[in-house]
């Protein structure tokens, strides 16, 4: 049975933690579904994790949709959410709806996510939901707004009123869940308790309804990048590097391909 937005609401009502990761390709999505994650976010973090950019601001809509299609194919029974990149919803409600439609019709996503809870973002959320598309909200640290805020800054209690106002505006607009990013733990916990929709944390402490991480980061594929909130569950970069070096050496030494790796003529069989 396919997981959907209602399964997240049910988990919150039961006090069960929600598990999520990003994915950008078919194979990773397939493994995440097998591992039992509750939803997969095709994040605009792809700009950094896959394309090596310094920020998420260069994420391309067409590329995001193409990768969403690959993830949807790999995890057909898991809730897949397409992350609307910078520039894909700022101009107007109609622009936002048109691009959200593309995530579902072309990318196979089940829902979309967009950042912010100001009046503009809330208007976009309402318009998209009114078109029949579920929306996940995002408050706290907003990677698409770092030019405005001056960098990746944790949200502390001095911004409580603004944070709560935005989160509840999004809830009122009809989002099915909200990502809380880069927020002081107790503040995030307080907000989570007051929200009726599930709150998914990344760098927001232990008291949210669930957690999400960038899959490349938690698998140890992001070099020296290791913010405080990140836990690496594997160190795949060293494993992959060893395999690549072994392959290179075997080719140079004539060890690969070996007898077991070649095709012979029918007469030699």
DSSP letter string over 7-28? HHHHHHHHTPPEEEEE--SHHH
Phi-psi region of 151 (alpha: psi -120 to 50; beta: other; left: phi over 0): left
| Active site positions, annotated | 181
- Give the whole-angstrom CA distance, residue 139 versus residue 118: 10
- Give the whole-angstrom CA distance, residue 193 versus residue 206: 12
Residue among 139, 201, 212 nearest 170 (CA): 139
Contact 21, 38 (CB under 8 A): no
Residue among 45, 53, 52 nearest 81 (CA): 45
What pLDDT, on a 0 to 100 scale, did the predictor assign at position 211?
Answer: 98
- 5-234: CATH number: 3.20.20.60
Q: What is the pLDDT along the chain (269 residues), one digit of tens a residue?
A: 899 999 999 999 999 999 999 999 999 999 999 999 999 999 999 999 999 999 999 999 999 999 999 999 999 999 999 999 999 999 999 999 999 999 999 999 999 999 999 999 999 999 999 999 999 999 999 999 999 999 999 999 999 999 999 999 999 999 999 999 999 999 999 999 999 999 999 999 999 999 999 999 999 999 888 899 999 999 999 999 999 999 999 999 999 999 999 999 988 76
């Amino acid at each position: 049975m396919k997981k959907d937005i209602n399964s997240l609401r049910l988990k919150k009502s039961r006090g069960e933690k929600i598990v999520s990761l990003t994915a950008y390709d078919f194979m990773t999505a397939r493994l995440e579904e097998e591992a039992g994650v509750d939803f997969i976010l095709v994040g605009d973090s792809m700009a950094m994790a896959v394309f090596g950019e310094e920020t998420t601001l260069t994420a391309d809509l067409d590329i995001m949709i193409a990768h969403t299609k690959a993830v949807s194919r790999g995890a057909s029974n898991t809730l897949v959410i397409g992350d609307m990149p910078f520039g894909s919803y700022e101009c107007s409600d109609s622009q936002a709806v048109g691009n959200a439609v593309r995530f579902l019709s072309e990318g196979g996503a089940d829902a979309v996510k967009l950042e912010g809870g100001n009046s503009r973002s809330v208007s976009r959320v309402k318009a998209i939901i009114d078109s029949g598309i579920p929306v996940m909200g995002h408050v706290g640290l907003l990677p698409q707004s770092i030019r405005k805020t001056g960098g990746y800054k944790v949200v502390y209690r001095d911004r409580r009123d603004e944070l709560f106002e935005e989160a509840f505006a999004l809830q009122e607009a009809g989002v099915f869940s909200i990502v809380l990013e880069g927020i002081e733990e107790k503040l995030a916990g307080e907000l989570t308790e007051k929200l009726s929709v599930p709150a998914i944390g990344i760098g927001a402490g232990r008291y949210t309804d669930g957690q999400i991480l960038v899959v490349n980061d938690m698998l140890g594929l992001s070099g020296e990048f290791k913010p405080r909130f990140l836990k690496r569950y594997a160190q795949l970069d060293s494993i992959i590097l060893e395999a690549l070096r072994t392959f290179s050496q075997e080719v140079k030494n004539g060890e690969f391909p070996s007898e077991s790796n070649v095709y012979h003529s029918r007469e030699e069989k």
